[in-house]
Amino acid sequence: MSETTTIDRNSADIISEISGHGTPIKVMIVDDHAVVREGLRRMLSLEKDLRIVGEASSGQEAIDKAVVVRPDVITMDLKMPGMDGIETTRQIKGKLPETDILMLTLYAEDFVREAIEAGASGYLLKDSDCDQIISAIHQVKRGLCPIAPSLTRELVTEFARLSRTSQTLILTRRQREILKLVAEGISGKEISSSLYVSPSTVKREIRAILARLGVSDRAQAVSEAIKRNLI
According to the model, what pLDDT value does residue 3 have? 52
Q: Alpha-carbon dihedral of residues 38, 111, 101, 104, nearest 10 degrees?
A: 20
Give CA–CA dist 190/89, Å, rounded.
Answer: 32
According to the model, what pLDDT value does residue 39 have? 94
CATH class of residue range 153-227: mainly alpha
The strand order across the sheet containing 73-76 reads 5-8, 144-147, 122-125, 100-105, 73-76, 25-30, 50-56
According to the model, what pLDDT value does residue 56 have? 97
pLDDT beneath 70, residues of the chain: 1-22, 108-110, 150-169
According to the model, what pLDDT value does residue 38 have? 96
pLDDT digits 0-9 by tens, 74-83:
999 998 989 9
Residue pair 112/87 in contact by the 8 Å Cβ criterion: no
Give CA–CA dist 93/74, Å, rounded.
Answer: 11
Please state the domain extents for the chain. Answer: 19-141, 153-227
According to the model, what pLDDT value does residue 5 have? 53
According to the model, what pLDDT value does residue 116 have? 84
According to the model, what pLDDT value does residue 166 have? 46
Residue pair 222/175 in contact by the 8 Å Cβ criterion: no
CATH architecture, domain 19-141: 3-Layer(aba) Sandwich (3.40)
Give the chain's radius of gyration (CA, Å): 17
According to the model, what pLDDT value does residue 91 have? 94
According to the model, what pLDDT value does residue 110 have? 63
pLDDT digits 0-9 by tens, 122-143:
899 888 889 999 999 999 998 8
According to the model, what pLDDT value does residue 145 have? 81
